[in-house]
Amino acid sequence: MKFARFVWKLAKFVMLGVFGLVALGAILFTVAGIGMQVPAPTTEITNRKPFADYVGREYRVVADVRALAWNDYPDKARILSISLMSPPVVVRNRFVSYETPLKSGQRIRIVSAWRQFALFGFHRHYVVSVPGAGLPNGIPVTIDVEADGVPDPRVYEPMNK
């Protein structure tokens, strides 16, 4: 009799614990889902090391790079930003208005560095100028960068070697 009561209490305790963990998971996923809808603000890190060492430098495109124009869906004519990306880039969705390949040897110049909190750490990128590429004026053009601040050497080669 005592053993059966102990087993019943243990089973209730385990069920309550499992229910609590499932409820906590549901709450966390809901909060994370809502939080992903509201992007974190961007912070300028232009003057911080190591990014300050790269701002103002010029690079030459030495690989296949495409400029993806991100729109303000459903208004596909309003371009919010342009990302320079190297393949494999398969972006065929409603948020990309067009894709423009850059010519090999195209010059880019790093203008500023930015950081934004993302789901798994920070997303860092440079805002660059791309003269003569036929991209619209007044739209920020970005390249992604790792924490070390170095643009991908397989894609961008420094011009002042």
Computed on alpha carbons and rounded to an integer, the radius of gyration of the chain in Å comes to: 24
pTM of the prediction?
0.72
Smallest Cα–Cα separation from 116: which of 43, 45, 33, 37?
A: 43
Bridge-partner residues for 100, per DSSP?
A: 67
Smallest Cα–Cα separation from 131: which of 60, 77, 45, 68?
A: 60
Going by pLDDT thresholds of 50, 70 and 90, the confidence category of residue 130 is very high
Mean pLDDT of 124-151: 90
CA-CA-CA-CA torsion for 122, 127, 130, 133, nearest 10 degrees? 60
| Contacts (Cβ under 8 Å, ≥6 apart) of 60 | 105, 106, 107, 108, 156, 157, 158, 159
User: Do residues 92 and 99 touch, judged by C-beta distance below 8 A?
Assistant: no
pLDDT in tens, 16-37: 999 999 999 999 888 777 766 6
Return the pLDDT at 36: 64
Return the pLDDT at 90: 64
Mean pLDDT of 1-26: 89
Return the pLDDT at 84: 93
Mean pLDDT of 35-44: 75
99 compared with 161, residue with greater pLDDT: 99
Instruction: List the domain boundaries for the chain.
Output: 1-38, 43-158
Q: Which amino acid is at 82?
A: I
DSSP secondary structure letter of residue 107? E
- Strands 141-145 and 156-158, by their bridges, are unpaired
Q: How many residues does the chain have?
A: 161
Tell me what the pLDDT averaged over the chain comes to.
87
Q: How many CB atoms lie within 10 A of CB 141?
A: 20
Return the pLDDT at 35: 66
Return the pLDDT at 38: 66
pLDDT in tens, 56-103: 999 999 999 999 998 888 888 889 899 999 887 666 788 888 888 899
